[in-house]
Chains A and B, each alone.
Chain A
Amino acid sequence: MRRRKFLKYSGAGLGLMLGGIWLARNPLRRKLFELGETMILSYQGDTSNPLLWMQVTPENTIVLHSSKVEMGQGTFTSLAQMAAEELEVDMDKITVVHAETGSGNIDGMGTGGSMSVASLWVPLREMAATLREMLRSKAAEKLGVKASALSLTDGVFQSGGNSLTFGEVVAGVQDWDIPDTPTLKEKSSFKCVGKPVPRVDLYDKVVGAPIFGMDAEFPDMLHASVVRANLIDATMSNFDTSEAEKMQGVVQIVKDDDFIGVVAHSRVEANNARLKIKFEQTPNAKWNLADVKERVMVGNGKKTVVQKEGKAVEDISGGGEIFTLEFRSPIGAHAQLEPNGAVASYRDGKVDIKISTQVPMIARDEVAKALGLDKDNVNIIPTFLGGGFGRRLHTPNAIQAAKMSKAVGKPVKSFFDRQQEFQNDTFRPPTHHVMKAKVSPEGEVLGLEHQFASGDTMFNSSLDPGTARALRADIGSIRGGTLIYDAIPHRSTYYHVDLPFATSFWRSLGLLANAFAIESFIDELAIKTNQDPVQMRLKFIGDDNPYGVRAKNVIEACAEKAGYSEEVVDGRAMGIAATIDSGSPCAHVAEVSITNGQIKVHKVTAAFDCGIAVNPDQVRAQVEGCICMGISAVLFEQMDLNDNKLSPINYGAYQMAMMKDTPREIDVVLIEGADIPGPVGEPPLGPIGAAIGNAVRRLSGKRLTELPLKLV
């Protein structure tokens, strides 16, 4: 009787709770978006066993098996510093390698979102500290002394005249007790974290060591080249491989439901034969860029209110006007230098795959599924990536290589060529923005709104599309789209649009386009209402939000370091912009001139608060890289679409910023506004577009509202 009542009450309780959640779904959703903008996701993988991550060699070195991949962002070096700190070893004793999925050290999320160091900050140091204590106990045992009698310096335990290196400690040991997690070091005792140590992969990259996926091999390997579409939204059919089959060096043409690949004795022979395969492509619908732009418009697609604080701009009482500006950003290519591919070795129902990937676990799972194998029989061996930028989150190349290897009974190395990379990219989606503000007759800004439309970033991704769909809005496209100006009413509404070609993650996701629109508009508002753009921003950011406070410090530091001024001096002007991305505020001041209609960026001053900079030199390198990659996207890059054909499809024709477009000076001010390391690799991309656009505004009087920025 009591039990039934309990069930009845708990059922009612559950019903109330679910009902409450349903009723509050929109505010809850918005809260989640807000959290998403600043929250650091916890590491999704096993951090309970230090020996899964760190291996002590007899030569007294430590091999750190990293489940996060190294694609230039410097993660390997920061992780090594964190481990070295707690292990009490010098950096020269640590080597970092990519963890194979078969080792069990598997990252459930993948490398991206600028999360690697942030999410491993506590777990990795805890594992290192734990391992240190495991070694200390064992050393004490072996030396016959108390653990407390041992001192530890650079991997050597000492007591009296006796010493044991880490390598000597582990010798012959089969079983380890894993003790309780020791207390971690205080920041004030850091010897390694916070130091600008040289990258651990520096030497290899300077001597051209064969560390990339493109360099990987298996013995007795064959080469492959696969057919890919060169039209979007088209069905491929009527494959004619008769000519290809006769080409020199061809071993087998592998025909699968999902692809056709030529396997040959050499890369050149495979590719030559692949180019002889004839096929038809039938467009399902005709697409030109104008059609895409028509689709990507505020008001089209699935609407989600992302941010709703205070009244809508239209509902703010009193006279004045509603000031509106529209902005656009183009389709952006990744253009990472190393093409996608994989080297697979299939034997006896098991497959090893060497691959440049940002998602080793997803690659493993997709290959297992496609080949009907147990996940344990698929081993992904990640390699150093020749650029990631969000491109390597999709792994059809792993599946293709594995299937071809199975078909021919030998290892197979398969890579896309550059044209295929451009034609089959998972692009940065094009966007459209409508910014609105209510301005009083006295010239006061009373409210702000950002409405924006974008193609997919996360919805069709294999990386947790469920969360995105549950929230009914694409967290990736929304990134940077909420307003940080919380001292006045502010709203943000997102429109999700389906497009007939693949779009996905591109470094900083929605941040680049969203920040360009918002920060250009804020600047225009400052001009319109006769306010200093720095002071206006400071006024509009409230003091309640800790990230906002950090952002204000960053804005002030940047303006001061740059000597920010509204004046045009010697044909140069400055523009300032600021963003908070994933909790890391960043501001840029760009110093710009215009010659013959060409925009030139001479100097960028950046202030960046990522909390603790584990490696300040590498944080600077990321800021510099983001600024220069940002200049490329903002001044030069765009894809075109004609009769279902994307163009351009090579470097050169796809204009990018080069050495000559690189600022002569980049000044980076690092601010430590938090006691943990926050995201670094993407946030500094946010302000660069508007910083340049705002400078151009003061120089030319023109407000450029489309990327890439062009005056002629």
Chain B
Amino acid sequence: MRNSRAFGIFSGILVLGFVVGFAKRDSGEIAALETALVVDEPFDKVMAVLTHKRCVNCHPSGDTPLQGEDSHLHNFDVMRGPTGHGLAGYTCNTCHGDENNDYSGVPGAPEWAVAPLEMAWEGKTRVEIAQQMMDPARNGGRSAHDILEHLTEHELVLWAWDPGVDAEGHPREKPPVSKEEYIEAVTEWIESGAVIPAE
């Protein structure tokens, strides 16, 4: 195209169309695509992390968490159980400890568990996730400050930047934003009112 601005708009529409076309697919791909849309605003950075598979895998919309780089249903159909800590014949801690295990390739962090259904993120847009997360009626009665603390200090959340290796010894993919940048972005976003854009 001779006109570079037209080209820019054209390719923007192409990308958008691409995104919309793919938006209907399952969560693994949504996470992957939203990751690709990292832009500069704090909200963008925060949500680029929260929609990454390292986070969404344990915020499933069903009873079984997701697993792996392709976010398949966790092997052996393990279930969340009454409190998100598994069942009785096994709990999450039957396999997952409070740190990553390099021998078995099983990831670990303190309080390893599945997020409650009210905090399911699988299949949701970043706006839906953000709205849900900041709504005390749906987030376990937490204030914005509570959420800030949870997102920046909870070991299970920060595990995403130290996700260990899998059963074959391959390192797990980390979120697309560094931990420091993410913490900065969360802080800025929430302290300036946790404004959620239209999309």
Contact = CB atoms under 8 A, between A and B. Distances in A.
Touch between chains A and B, by CB atoms below 8 Å? yes
A4 to B, nearest CB: 75
Interface in A678-702: none
B41 interface: no
Contact of B76 (A268, A275, A419, A652): A652
A650 B104 CA distance: 11
A652 B168 contact: no
B168 A419 contact: yes
B75 A652 contact: yes
B13 interface: no
A649 B169 CA distance: 13
Contacts of B168: 419, 649
Contacts of A649: 168
Given A419-B168, A650-B167, A658 B76 contact: yes
Q: Is chain B's binding surface mostly helix, strand, loop or mixed? A: loop
| Chain A interface residue bracket vs B | 10 to 19
Interface string A639-663: 0000000000111110000101000
B180 interface: no
Contacts of B75: 651-653
Interface in B80-131: 103
B77 A660 contact: yes
Contacts of A268: 103
A649 B75 CA distance: 13
A658 B89 CA distance: 14
A699 to B, nearest CB: 23
Interface string B146-169: 000000000000000000000111
B158 to A, nearest CB: 27
Contacts of A653: 75
A275 B169 CA distance: 10
Contacts of A660: 77
A636 to B, nearest CB: 12
The residue among A268, A652, A660 with the most chain B CB atoms within 10 A of its own CB is A652
Contacts of B169: 275
Contacts of B167: 419, 650
A650 B106 CA distance: 13
B150 to A, nearest CB: 31
Nearest to A275: B169
Interface string B122-146: 0000000000000000000000000
Interface in B37-79: 75-77
Contacts of A275: 169
A425 B75 CA distance: 22
A278 to B, nearest CB: 14
Contacts of A650: 167
A650 B77 CA distance: 16
A419 B104 CA distance: 12
A268 B102 CA distance: 12
Interface in B153-199: 167-169
A658 B75 CA distance: 11
Nearest to B72: A653
A635 to B, nearest CB: 15
A37 to B, nearest CB: 39
Contacts of B77: 660
A650 B169 CA distance: 13
Contacts of A652: 75-76
Nearest to A652: B75
Nearest to A655: B75
Nearest to A654: B75
Contacts of A419: 167-168
A575 B169 CA distance: 44
A460 to B, nearest CB: 29
Nearest to B103: A268
Contacts of A651: 75
A651 B169 CA distance: 16
A322 B169 CA distance: 54
A650 B103 CA distance: 14
Nearest to B105: A650
B61 to A, nearest CB: 16
A43 B103 CA distance: 45
A658 B103 CA distance: 25
A660 B77 CA distance: 10
Nearest to A418: B167
A593 to B, nearest CB: 18
Interface in A244-282: 268, 275
A653 B68 CA distance: 11
A619 to B, nearest CB: 30
A268 B167 CA distance: 16
A652 B95 CA distance: 14
A652 B77 CA distance: 10
B70 to A, nearest CB: 11
A532 B168 CA distance: 52
A651 B76 CA distance: 9
Nearest to A651: B75
B7 to A, nearest CB: 38
B65 to A, nearest CB: 13
A466 to B, nearest CB: 40
A463 B169 CA distance: 37
Interface string A34-68: 00000000000000000000000000000000000
A649 B77 CA distance: 18
Nearest to A647: B168
A660 B168 CA distance: 27
Nearest to B74: A652
Contacts of B103: 268
B83 to A, nearest CB: 22
A658 B76 CA distance: 8
Interface string A613-640: 0000000000000000000000000000
A658 B78 CA distance: 12
Interface in A54-103: none
Contacts of A658: 76
B163 to A, nearest CB: 18
A333 to B, nearest CB: 16
Nearest to B76: A652
A268 B104 CA distance: 12
Nearest to A268: B103
A419 B167 CA distance: 9
A275 B102 CA distance: 13
Nearest to B167: A650
Interface string A275-319: 100000000000000000000000000000000000000000000
Nearest to B102: A272
A481 to B, nearest CB: 35
B38 to A, nearest CB: 31
A166 to B, nearest CB: 47
A419 B166 CA distance: 13
A30 to B, nearest CB: 47
A67 B101 CA distance: 43
A41 to B, nearest CB: 41
Nearest to B67: A652
A658 B174 CA distance: 33
- Nearest first, the 10 closest Cβ-Cβ pairs linking A and B are A652-B75, A650-B167, A652-B76, A653-B75, A658-B76, A660-B77, A419-B168, A649-B168, A275-B169, A419-B167
Given A651-B75, A652-B76, A660-B77, 6 more contacts: A268-B103, A419-B167, A419-B168, A649-B168, A650-B167, A652-B75
Interface of B: 75-77, 103, 167-169
12 contacts: A268-B103, A275-B169, A419-B167, A419-B168, A649-B168, A650-B167, A651-B75, A652-B75, A652-B76, A653-B75, A658-B76, A660-B77
